[in-house]
Structure 1
């Protein structure tokens, strides 16, 4: 593992242990086994390092959405959505500490928004891609013609995000809510 990767991994560890506010460059350098000067050789600002953690260390939803788009017409829509919902909940649970800190820290948020503008990325893309999957299933008759795929995508992602937030606040136990979310959603999506 190269120095830069070691620093990003250490930042991820420190953020998870201490929280974003207490994750200082001194703590991160110590955890990475390097000096702060070396840290700043790889990252000109603390914000850049935190953005690297978010982009490189967090589980991305893109693989789950890509897998989902390849499932059009295969398995059942409910099975496909349950697999995706589990991945979305895991993503939100893992990224919540950093995301919450990012939203609370103005300079980080501005840096993140600038990066999204440069790359064309953003948290809205998985919702749009999920809507596309549902629209494709709708075209072949596995989702009702009167269903709104974009609204359904937003509802499922919102439920997954909410579940992750609740799990961060209270012990909800190991229960799997994905089947319940999807069953409820499917009641409104199914062909009539």
Structure 2
């Protein structure tokens, strides 16, 4: 009987990193543990990824809900589709995205030196937690130019409010062991989009 074909090393490394970062947190996950879980050597891991930070960004881009691509797609076609539906989908994907990124990154806040080192590495790579806010701001500004958002609306503040609410959802509720469950995702996303648009949407 033939053995099942193994995934390429890079895919195995990303899968292992995703699982370990979710269960142990970013701070406690080591490249040695990731390599072991991926059934490869650390040397093989470093052939694909130069650092744990680069691997973390790859996990965000390739294993988590696709928030970045959604925002890029919407920004490329402002004025299309129903604006409330567009923002509802952004809120839905953002809530899913932060539901995974918050547990991964939370452990960094227990170690200020590790957090500072991680942030410095992300700055070197030209990325960081601010990127989704910038991308959503770019989309809202595009819709502003298409006259679907008030000309005087603060789009950066609006982007921060929407994504901040999605991030907070990951902190505020815990359905495990009988804890308080979060509101249904679709209901939450639609309510957030509708409320935001009541303040910044163009009446025309």
Same fold (TM over 0.5): yes
Matched with 1:171 is 181
After TM superposition, the structure 1 stretch with the greater mean CA deviation from structure 2, 19-28 or 7-16, is 19-28
2-side partners of 1:116 and 1:10: how far apart? 21
Match among 101, 111, 121 for residue 107 of structure 2: 101
Distance apart, 1:52 and its partner CA: 3.7
Distance apart, 1:43 and its partner CA: 4.0
Q: Which runs of 5+ in 2 are unaligned?
A: 1-6
CA RMSD of aligned residues (A): 2.7
Distance apart, 1:29 and its partner CA: 4.2
2:19 alignment partner, SS class = helix
Matched with 2:202 is 191
Do the aligned partners of 1:8 and 1:52 also contact (CA within 8 Å) in 2? no
Matched with 2:3 is none
Matched with 1:17 is 23
Q: Which runs of 5+ in 1 are unaligned?
A: none
Residues 102 and 53 (structure 1), Cα distance of their counterparts in 2 relative to 1, 3 Å cut: farther
Match among 53, 56, 68 for residue 54 of structure 1: 56
TM-score (norm 1): 0.80
Count of aligned positions: 186
2:51 alignment partner, SS class = helix
TM-score (norm 2): 0.76
Superposed, 1:152-171 pairs within 5 Å as 152-168=158-174, 170-171=180-181
Do the aligned partners of 1:71 and 1:80 also contact (CA within 8 Å) in 2? no
2-side partners of 1:89 and 1:161: how far apart? 7
Matched with 1:80 is 86
Q: Deviations over 1:15-71 (max 9, x none)?
A: 32344455455644442234xxx2256349xx933x244211222532121022023
Residues 136 and 16 (structure 1), Cα distance of their counterparts in 2 relative to 1, 3 Å cut: closer
Do the aligned partners of 1:54 and 1:95 also contact (CA within 8 Å) in 2? no
1-side partners of 2:28 and 2:35: how far apart? 13
Do the aligned partners of 2:20 and 2:34 also contact (CA within 8 Å) in 1? yes
Match among 30, 42, 62 for residue 39 of structure 1: 42
Distance apart, 1:135 and its partner CA: 1.9
1:144 alignment partner, SS class = coil
